[in-house]
Structure formats: C-alpha cells, structure tokens
Structure 1
C-alpha cells in the first residue's frame, strides 16, 4: 500500500521539504530522486500522478520528491546548487530518509529533467546515479526555440509583463498554476524565458548551464518525448538522446507532458519502459 511521508530539510534560503512515497510491506530495490517540471518558474514537488506513484512503488521503488527554489526569485546557479545539495543529502542521510542505504536514480519531468542532467554533469555529486530518467527534458542543445517567441504560446491570450510583479521576490518553492503559470506563458510569448532565470552574459549560460560542452554522462539515460511537443521541440530530444546514446520512448501527439493522461495506453507503455530501464541497471 502506498504511503507518504513529508520530511523537513534544513535550508537557510527557504522552507524546504521532501515527500517520500513507499510501500512498507515491500523489499525495496532502489530509490528514485524526483524533481518536478514547470519551466523553472512554476510547479511543486507533489505533481506526480497517482498512477505513476502506484506503478513505481508497486515495482519496489521508493520515490523521494524534492522542493527546489523557483525563478525569477532564484537564478539557475542557486537552483542547480540546491538540486545538487538535495541529491547529496540523500547520499549522506539515506538511513534517516528511508532507513537503509540503496542505490539511486534521478528522474525529472521537463525542467526537472534539465536540472537532473545538469546536476549529473556538473561534477558536484558525491556519487553518480545508476541512471537518469528524462520525461520530455532538454539540455538547451538546439538554437532558437527557448530564446525566441513560441508559436504555440503566441496563440494563447497575451500575458503582460505585469505578471512578474505578482510573484514574490523572496526565495520560494511553491509555484501554483493560478499564480505562477502566467509567468511561463509570458516568458515563452516574448522569448524572455532565459532572462528570467539567468542574468549574466549569454556565453556563460551556454558554457555552464547547457549540455553543449558535456560529451558524456556518468550513467545511462532514458528519454521520453512526443513527436509534436508544444514546449520542447522534437529536435531537442533527438540531439539529447543521440548525444548520450539514450534509450528512447517516443509517442505521437501535440502534448508536452503527454503522461498527464493516466488512462492512456501510451502512459502505461511509458511506465513499463521506465521500469524495464531501472530494473536492468540494478
């Protein structure tokens, strides 16, 4: 039976928590450290669908979902450092968190995947994960899609720059759809997304916060994407999966987070493929 436990993590920047999903009646194989999506601007650690949680926990995995600080209050250097601290916290305190020491995987959806990939490649982790699971993730490997107005988002009602004044300037990790999603729409409509989470010279972004100079990862990679993704172009997925010889799951459609439909056959196939990837690395 799926159980949850919230843990407060010491942090000087903001009130930080992790949620642990587990079945106490199962002998666990490994831990999955999860980071949510939201373009670095919205979202929260409790966004995983029940179907995903039950399927993975019933397959003998523990999931630990972490908070992380959101832009524009926090820039990418602060966000990435927080991600690495969370991963290293598990390494140092696994017995406190789960009562034992188990190998770990990284799992991110969208921006969470981007952060997992950066963390694994930056050299700041105490130990490498067994593998990385990327659902519709990216590494900013292709030009123009992220720093130009998005055709898809420009079809939505126009969002003004005034939306930014409604977001707290204090470091925080909870970005609800009704308060924060408009900042992402604004960012994609104007092509100003990068400016909201990075404020240095652009060349340093490409050097330090993309995967363009990372020729290899310390572990295998699983990538999932839809062919007509509205947020992250399929060409980005192609570059990412080819660069790291990733195992791939591809589905047709025009939805970014296509696995939001818990009843779709493609979601079941995705999770089965994910579990096969995990199991064979243990």
Structure 2
C-alpha cells in the first residue's frame, strides 16, 4: 500500500510592512499648504522685482504694501471701506441669485419660460454691467440703488445661464422618477432638478460672485469720483490721487484677500458638503 506523499506547502511570505510616505510628500498632499507656497513664491517675486526696479511711486515692494495694509487696518479705514463694499455686494448678490432662480425655474417648467430666458440671456449677458452705470445714475441717482442695479445685472445672466444648462442636463430617468412620485412645479424643481444640477449651479454661483465683485469695485471708483464716498473702490481712488501707491496696492490686496476667503471658506465648504460628498465631483 502506497502512502500518500505529503508535499510541504511553501510558507507564505509575510506581508510587506505598510510604507509610510515621507514627510515632504505628506505635506505636499495638503492643498492649503501647496497654495500657500504659491502665494509665498509670488510675494518673493514681487519683492525681488520691486527692489530691482527701485521706484516705490510706480511699484512699491511687498513689504511696503504690507505695512500700508496694516496701517489701513489699524486706523480702521480699510476695514470700514471693505465692510461697506461687502454689505452692498451681499445685497446685490442675493437679489441676483433670487431672480436667476426664478427665471431658470420658469425655463425648466414651461416652453415660454425657456424662450424668455434664452432671449434675455442672448441680449443682456454680453452687455458689461459697468456700461449700465450711467443709466443707473440717471434713474436712481448716487447711492446704493444704482450699485444694486449694476450688481444684479452682473449676477443674473451668467447664473441663470448655468442654472438652465444644469437643468437641461438632468437625465430623463430622474425626471420620470420625480413625475412618478407626483412632483410638479416648484417641488419638482427643488427636489429633482436642483440637486441633480447642483455642480452647474455652484459653478454659476462662483462666476456670478466674481463678476459682481469686479463690477462693484469698478462702480465704486466712479462713485468715488462723483460723490467722494464709497467702499474699497473709493479707497483705491483716493490713495491714487494722493500718490500713495502702497496704499493703492493695499486696497487691491484687500479685494484679492476677500475673494480668496470667499472662495476658500464659503464656496469650498459648500462644495465639500454637497457635490463631493454626493460623489458628483472628485
């Protein structure tokens, strides 16, 4: 009787130890750190060019601009002007978002609304908002209503266009699911179209914010000329007349800083909590 020969099994190789990434690689994976390094590099280039040019009146250095920025904050003038601009911007932005939502909802619900939005966007979207400022001054006079008029124009059309494009891209499967649940009108738009089209809507909100911010600063420069009051635009114009170029750069830096804060804190938080959480974007 032949006994079965036992063949020894090869010992399984031990699993390799998990490799830890080096410290510099882990740091490089942090988005905020990478972007911070880019800002530091830009500031270093700015400082180097200003030192080489040696003309503070035309191009102040980064350190001179930072000193002017700090002085503006310490005196309260820069913060007060910035808050004035932000208040007006928030009012105009909210009005523009509300009107864009109404137009986009009408376009998604009815054929007449779709034709109306397409016609209005084709007419007014190419028109620069600042070009309407003379009419705004004529109709509403100097003050906040004129600024709100041009801000609503800057926000309304790009946002309505992005909303409408997002609604049009919603799949027929989701539309049929909403109809099968008996959703109609505003409930259909709020529960089906808006969540499905939110990436396009969020992009439109970002673009509209940038348009509104640029339009406001440009309009405040004109208002500064006309009435001697205003927000950051007037701060920039006033210091330009005084030949305080470092303070002009400080005002421009405040505009950029507010834009970075809104993008990094507000829109990025919304993006992480919505489209990235839902798996709609990487």
Q: TM-score range by the shorter chain?
A: under 0.3
Question: Between Structure 1 and Structure 2, which shows a larger proportion of helix residues?
Answer: 2
Q: TM-score, normalised by structure 2?
A: 0.22
Computing the radius of gyration over CA atoms, which structure comes out larger, 1 or 2?
A: 2
